[in-house]
Amino acid sequence: MTNPENKYEAASLVAAGQLTEERIAKLCGVSRACLTRWKREKAFQQMVADHFAAFREKCDARSIADRNRRIGILDDTLAGLLAIKARRSVQFASIPGGGHTGLLMQRNTTVGTEYRVDGVLVRSLLAVSEQAARETGQWTEIHEHRMRRLKDLSEAELESFVTDAEKEYGAAAVRGEA
């Protein structure tokens, strides 16, 4: 017989969505099979929904629970950054070296006025754009792959390579018989 408090805690952890089923089961002192059975029960599903709703209410006050709100905030932030860029592109249009881009900032020094790329603006534009792409599922990581030369492959790797090519293109084409 399981403790109702364990079931309540499990529902809370499932709603949070941060832990694996194995970890939740262990923390609640039940088997993974037991947790799986609970997850099929309507009453447990309702407990999870209630926990999630309570969590969402708390987070809504901070505007982080709702993906659409987060994207809206990112959109507003990006619009503000682009407005700064647009104003500067007009203000500094006659400055050689990129004034028309809107990415320069003006800095008054004791020697005079200097213009330089506004690194904070550039980094902010990139960061907001990346976060928006991540939120909308449009972000992909680019991984560099180093190609090995054929002469560096072992016999087994070469044979595997040939076998895969034969499956894809046909044995005759791979062996130059086509």
For the chain, helix, strand, coil in percent to 5 are: 65, 5, 30
Question: Which pLDDT belongs to residue 15?
Answer: 86
pLDDT digits (tens, 9 = 90+) for 45-67: 999 899 888 887 776 666 555 77
Q: pLDDT by residue (tens digit) across 126-159?
A: 999 999 888 888 887 776 666 677 777 788 888 8
Nearest to 37 by CA among 5, 10, 16, 18: 10
Give me the residue spans of the domains in the chain.
Answer: 4-60, 67-135, 145-178
Report the distance separating Cα 101 and Cα 40, nearest Å: 57
CA distance 74 to 72: 5
Q: What digits encode the pLDDT tens for the residues 87-131? A: 999 999 998 888 899 999 998 989 999 988 998 999 999 999 999
Tell me how far apart the alpha carbons of residues 10 and 26 are, in angstroms, rounded to a whole number. Answer: 10
Distance CA 105, CA 103 (A): 7
